[in-house]
Amino acid sequence: MSVNAQDLREAALALPVKAGVELIGVLLESIPPEEEEAIGDEEWEKELERRSAELREHPDQGVPWEQVRKLR
């Protein structure tokens, strides 16, 4: 079965918050150290802005840091 990036993104966004946070952690940890530099600051800034905008739009969907930290 072949899954394209858009289908995968939609499935990930449909996950419950806890499962989504766990997935983020797994994906970030899967990036080899030598590849981390390939993700430049500009990309991280764009992602942070996207997440900030999403949180502003849907503040009730945010997860307090205390809860996120416990997921690790």
pLDDT digits (tens, 9 = 90+) for 31-66: 887 787 777 778 778 888 898 888 888 888 888 878
Q: Which residues of 3-20 are buried (b: 16+ CB within 10 A; e: fewer)?
A: eeeeeeeeeeeeeeeeee
- Give the separation between CA 1 and CA 50, rounded to whole angstroms: 30
pTM (2 decimals)?
A: 0.49
Rounded CA separation 30/60 (Å): 29
Average pLDDT over residues 12-29: 88
Domain layout of the chain by residue ranges: 7-71
Mean pLDDT, rounded, for 13-24: 89
